[in-house]
Amino acid sequence: MEQVSVFRATLLVAVAAVVEAVIGPYLTFGGIAPRLTLLGIVVAVSGLQETQGLLIGFFGGVLMDALGEGLFGVGALGGLVAGAISVRVSAMKLKGAQRLILAQAVAVSVVAYDLIHLFATHLAGLQGPSVGAFVVHGVIPDALVNAVLAYLIGLRLMKLLKVRRVGWT
């Protein structure tokens, strides 16, 4: 019997945050960027218990905030939402559609993160785009790109997290 290792899940999120902080700026095109930390959170949390998942999501987001230069708290909330989505989605046991569900979970998480970011930008008094323009030119392409990324590598990452559970007998 296999189960997700909490240690490996945490490590995956941490590595994803560092990689995103180092190479992310070179792969950012306007509002579109690889959200590796969110992808890591969605993958890592699927298969964990709710509390563990939410905590990993939140602290993964805090790490993303600390390593990035954006508004602190946006990543934390985005990570928390990604964790919550992943916990709910992983409860659905649809055989054969796991890859597609993972991609959708990442897409929804990215949409949530982008909207939180926009809202926070306006709330902080900084200039940001209008919601309509940002949704068309930023949120939708960003969600699609990251969903494709999740579809391609999500399951492989998920396999790395699983360890064989040793039973009593």
> What six digits make up the tokens of 38?
């969110």
Q: Is 141 in the site for another protein (CB under 8 A)?
A: no
- Minimum CB separation of residue 56 from another protein in Å reads 11
Q: Which of 82, 86, 109 is nearest to 98 (CA)?
A: 86
Binding segment for another protein among 19-27, 36-44, 93-101, 159-167 (CB under 8 A)? 19-27
Instruction: List, in order, residues 6 or more apart from 158 with CB less than 8 Å away.
Output: 43, 46, 47, 102
Q: Is 10 in the site for another protein (CB under 8 A)?
A: no
Contact at 8 Å (CB) between 47 and 73?
Answer: no
The upper half-sphere exposure of residue 14, i.e. CA atoms within 13 Å in the direction of its Cβ, equals: 6
DSSP secondary structure code for residue 139 in this structure: I
- Minimum CB separation of residue 159 from another protein in Å reads 27
Contact at 8 Å (CB) between 61 and 80?
Answer: yes
100 vs 128, beta carbon nearer another protein: 128
110 vs 158, beta carbon nearer another protein: 110
Please tell me the count of residues contacting another protein according to CB under 8 A: 45
Binding segment for another protein among 23-31, 37-45, 103-111, 156-164 (CB under 8 A)? 23-31
Pick one of 129, 141, 144, 160: the residue that binds another protein (CB under 8 A): 129
11 vs 18, beta carbon nearer another protein: 18
Site for another protein in 31-70 (CB under 8 A): 31, 33, 54-55, 58, 61-62, 65-70
In Å, the largest CA–CA distance within the chain is 62
Q: Phi/psi at 70 (nearest 5 deg)? A: -85, -165
